[in-house]
Every structure is written in C-alpha cells, then in structure tokens.
Amino acid sequence: MYQRFSRDSWRDPPIRQISVGIAAAAARKSPLMTITVRTEREGDRARLVPVGTFDVTHAPAVAQAVAQVPPDLEGCRSIDLDLTHLDRIDGAGAVLLARFLDRLDVDGDRTRIVADRNPEAARLITLYRQKRAESAPAPTRAMGLLATIGAVAADLPARVTDTLDFTGRCIAALPKIVTSPRSVDWHSLPRLVQEIGADALPVTSSANLLVGVIIGFLGVSQLGRFGAVVYVPELVVVAHFRELGPLVTAIVVAGRSGAGLASEIATMKVSEEIDALRSMKFDPLLWLVVPRCLALVLVVPLLTWVGDALALLGGLLATVAITDLTPRAYTLATIDAITASHFFGGLVKSPFLALAIGLIACAQGLATQGGAAAVGARTTTAVVLAIFGVIVINSLFTLLYVAVGV
C-alpha cells in the first residue's frame, strides 16, 4: 500500500513539537510499567503504594494516578505511604505526592511515610510538605470587569494632572537654562542633531517627495476636468507648504525620533540612570529634556524646508508626466505661486510640532516604571500621543489662520 504524503509532511516539524511529543509519548506508555497508586486496605488501616516513575516528564500520568485513588479511604484512621516500589522520583513527583498527603490529612494527621527502603524520596516529599506549612497563603489579586473599569476611571484625573505637572515643571525649569547653563548636557546636542536631523533626512525627504507626487496627480485629475491644469503648481505649493509639508515631516519624525527618545529615556529610567542623575543634583528636565527638545526644534523646520522643495519636484514630475505642461512652464507657475504667507505659514508651525514631539516622548520616558515591558508600553504610548498631538496642533494652527485670514 502506498501512503500519500502532502509536501508539508516531509518537512521536519519544529523542534519543540518533537520533544513535547516524545515527553507525551513517554507519559502515555512508560517502558517499564504504568504509573499507579495501589491501595491495600485492612480494616481501618490503609496502605498506598505508588508504582512507576514519578518525575516531571510523567507528571500528567502521576496526577491522574493520584486522582484515581478511591475516595473510600474515609474512615481509615491510619494511612501508610509505601515508597519501596517507586522507580524514580524527582521534585515534581514529590510535590504531587505531598499535595496528595496534604489532602488526606485535612481531617487530622493520619498519614505516615514508610521510608525504610527509599529515604531520599521520603525526604523530598517531607521537604515540600514542610515548605507548604511554613508558607502563608497567597492573597488573590484578580480584578473583576467592573473593578477594572473603575480603576481605569479613577486613574484618569491623575494622568491629566501628571501631564500638566510635567509641562509646568518644564516651563519652571526654563530660566535655569540661562542662570545655570552647566546643568544642561550641551555635549549631547551635536549627536542629537545628527540622529534626529541628518539621519532622518532620507526618510522625511522621500515621504515629502511622494506626497508632492500624490498632490500632483490629484490636481491633474480634478482640476483637469475644468481645463485648469495650469493651477496644479499653485495647488501643490499651497497644499504642501501650508499644511502637508509640516504635518508629514512631523509625523515621520514623531514615529522615528519619538520612539527613539522615549525608549532611550525609559531604559535610562528602569536602569536607575535617571536616579543617578538626580542623586548628583542634575535635573533630568534640564540635562535630558532640554537638549532633546532643542535639537528637535532646530532640526524639524530644516527637514520641513527640504521636504517642501522635494514636494515641488514631486508635483512637477507627476504633472509633466501625464499632461502637456512643460517643466519650464510648471517652474514659472510655481515661482509665481510661492508667497511669503504660504512659505512661512507652514514653517512657523514646525517648531511647535517638534516641541510637542519632544515633550511627549520625554514625559513618557520619564514616567516609565517597571521593566522591559514597561519600556515597550511607554514607547508605544509616546508615538501614538506624539502623532495625535502633531495632528491636533496642526489643526489648531489651520483654524487660527482661517480666523485671522492669513
């Protein structure tokens, strides 16, 4: 008879599955004998004889054997556990037997270990019974659904005040930059400018270029319906310079440097570096937060400016590729469209967006408590809040511009 194999069955299964399989097989059919606890009864005396291998790989079978001991031991005044027929016992087997004896002894001490032939096993079981007796019961910490909702709700005001508190302390720390400039880590500034600015240039530039292409295509397809393709350059300038340039750049920086800064400071916090700084009378707000925020404020407008230029290029490529407009005509129309209000209206926003990213990332980092998992959670929160904050602040600026009529 042929047996058909699917292609997958030829491949080796993962290693873990194999060894678990071996352990399971070993537990199912022990080579020597099955694992049981034999019960012999004479009047009000009983004798329990565990037979087989009582170790961690056979633990399921051991647990089953122990559970199968008939409950008719009630009424026995003395129960002997005879360990002479044990093949092998380790900590796991000893624990299961110890818990079994604990259950039998609930109505008063009546069990006894017969240890003449196997003193090691007896000592092991006794060790685990002693440790149980010495140990206090564990308090339960499980929380119901309602309690969880309540705890989250009760936590909300504290979160808001924490944010306000952090902002306030940052503002209060500002004068100290001037009065004691040595409390700021100025040496890290070039490194931060490099990491946040120069290293981010490829990704922010290409994002802006692609957004320029998208606006170009969108303009051609929509304005083209009215024969107004000549207005596409102006659309690209207005849309990108005023809104999308600062926004796209800030979102990319928030995702990239926001995560980097938050996880760096969070790791410093959990490895007690922040505590070390404070013990040496450094204010982490000045030493860490100021240079990071400053680097962002310096660098993000520059990235935005480069991005603006590349978006114009993207718009040009898109328009020239699918319409009759010449590159020269497009360029001239673009130069006409650029006004100071469009150009600076966008760039003015960038430092504020950058500051928001820096403050949110540093605040989340400094608020970290716990271990590796807390670092991950805080970094995620920092990126989410930074991107959301960037969008909100950008919208507020747009509202302001509309109200003022710029």
Distance (Å, whole) CA 310 – CA 302: 13
Pick the stretch among 90-98, 206-214, 216-224, 226-234 that binds another protein (CB under 8 A): 90-98
Please give the angle made by the CA atoms of 309, 327 and 244, to the nearest 5 degrees: 30
| Beta bridge partners of residue 52, listed in sequence order | 86
Please identify which residue in 128, 217, 241, 330 interacts with another protein, judged by CB under 8 A.
128
Pick the stretch among 128-136, 206-214, 235-243, 296-304 that binds another protein (CB under 8 A): 128-136
Give how far Cα 8 sits from Cα of 13, 18, 97, Å.
9, 15, 43
Please give the angle made by the CA atoms of 239, 242 and 245, to the nearest 5 degrees: 80
Give how far Cα 101 sits from Cα of 67, 118, 126, 196, Å.
12, 17, 10, 64
Parallel, antiparallel, or unpaired for β 45-54 and 36-42?
antiparallel
Decide: is 372 part of the binding site for another protein (CB under 8 A). Answer: yes
Please identify which residue in 19, 148, 161, 339 interacts with another protein, judged by CB under 8 A.
19
Chain positions 92 to 111 lying near another protein, rule: CB under 8 A, are 92, 95-96, 98-99
User: In the complex, what is the shortest distance from the CB of residue 13 to another protein, in angstroms, rounded to a whole number?
Assistant: 13
Decide: is 139 part of the binding site for another protein (CB under 8 A). Answer: yes
Please identify which residue in 38, 45, 131, 169 interacts with another protein, judged by CB under 8 A.
131
Q: Which amino acid, residue 44?
A: D
CB 252, CB 200: distance < 8 Å:
yes
Please identify which residue in 59, 254, 290, 310 interacts with another protein, judged by CB under 8 A.
59
User: In the complex, what is the shortest distance from the CB of residue 88 to another protein, in angstroms, rounded to a whole number?
Assistant: 10
Closer by beta carbon to another protein, 27 or else 268: 27
Decide: is 119 part of the binding site for another protein (CB under 8 A). Answer: no
Pick the stretch among 3-11, 22-30, 175-183, 205-213 that binds another protein (CB under 8 A): 22-30
Q: What count of other Cβ atoms lies within 10 Å of the Cβ of residue 239?
A: 20
User: In the complex, what is the shortest distance from the CB of residue 256 to another protein, in angstroms, rounded to a whole number?
Assistant: 25
User: In the complex, what is the shortest distance from the CB of residue 93 to another protein, in angstroms, rounded to a whole number?
Assistant: 9
Pick the stretch among 15-23, 75-83, 110-118, 389-397 that binds another protein (CB under 8 A): 15-23
Closer by beta carbon to another protein, 145 or else 178: 145
Q: CB pairs under 8 A, 24+ apart, for 113-120?
A: 113/80, 113/81, 113/83, 114/80, 114/81, 114/82, 114/83, 114/84, 115/83, 116/84, 117/83, 117/84, 118/83, 118/84, 118/86, 118/89, 120/89
Residue partners of 246: CB distance under 8 A and separation at least 6:
304, 346, 347, 349, 350, 353, 394
**How many residues belong to the site for another protein (CB under 8 A)?**
42
Decide: is 121 part of the binding site for another protein (CB under 8 A). Answer: no
Q: Is the Cα dihedral 353, 357, 363, 367 positive or negative?
A: positive
Pick the stretch among 59-67, 145-153, 166-174, 350-358 that binds another protein (CB under 8 A): 59-67
Distance (Å, whole) CA 285 – CA 322: 52
Decide: is 134 part of the binding site for another protein (CB under 8 A). Answer: yes
Please identify which residue in 49, 63, 306, 391 interacts with another protein, judged by CB under 8 A.
63
Please identify which residue in 73, 127, 306, 338 interacts with another protein, judged by CB under 8 A.
127
> Where along the sequence are the contacts to another protein (CB under 8 A)?
15-16, 19-20, 23-24, 27, 55-57, 59-60, 63, 90-92, 95-96, 98-99, 120, 123-124, 127-128, 131-132, 134-142, 369-374
